[in-house]
């Protein structure tokens, strides 16, 4: 069964492409882009976006340390987090993905089912 198919007990998960398209549409229609600001990097680089989102999903499922430099796609994940750091949609993106129970990166945070993940050694 596709993970985008809704069942009685579990709503359909939004795919990476759906998220990019949703953010892009919202960006075009409602966001006031600060003068001189380009489109968000995650929208301009869908290949890296998909690589990172897939890797983060796997790492979360396997309970790996997302902050480790030794995990698959660690360099791409760091680049992606850097994009979020200065993105004018950061807060809106994070809020939307928390409400959507999203697993992946949004607004510069790692999310698992809409919950921000903290480093294991952080108390």
Give the range among 15-19, 25-29, 108-112 with minimum mean pLDDT. Answer: 25-29
Whether residue 19 is contained in a domain is answered as: no
Evaluate if residue 113 carries a pLDDT over 60.
Answer: yes
Whether residue 4 is contained in a domain is answered as: no
Whether residue 11 is contained in a domain is answered as: no
Whether residue 31 is contained in a domain is answered as: no
Evaluate if residue 110 carries a pLDDT over 90.
Answer: yes
Whether residue 47 is contained in a domain is answered as: yes
Alpha carbon separation from 77 to 25, 53, 104, 123 (Å, rounded): 24, 9, 10, 23
Whether residue 72 is contained in a domain is answered as: yes
Whether residue 33 is contained in a domain is answered as: no
Model confidence over 56-104: pLDDT tens digits?
A: 989 998 889 998 999 999 999 999 999 999 888 899 889 988 988 889 9
The dihedrals phi and psi of 106, each to the nearest 5 degrees, come to -150, 135
pTM: 0.69
How many domains are contained in the chain? Answer: 1
């Amino acid at each position: 069964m596709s993970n985008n198919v809704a069942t009685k007990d579990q709503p359909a998960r939004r795919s990476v492409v759906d998220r990019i398209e949703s953010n892009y549409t919202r960006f075009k229609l409602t966001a006031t882009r600060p003068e001189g600001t380009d489109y968000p990097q995650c929208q301009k680089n869908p290949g890296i976006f998909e690589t990172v989102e897939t890797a983060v999903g796997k790492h979360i499922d396997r309970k790996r340390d997302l902050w480790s430099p030794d995990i698959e796609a660690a360099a791409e994940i760091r680049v992606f987090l850097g994009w979020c750091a200065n993105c004018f949609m950061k807060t809106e993106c994070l809020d939307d993905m928390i409400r959507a129970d999203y697993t992946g990166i949004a607004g510069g945070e790692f999310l698992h089912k809409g919950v921000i993940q903290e480093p294991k050694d952080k108390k």
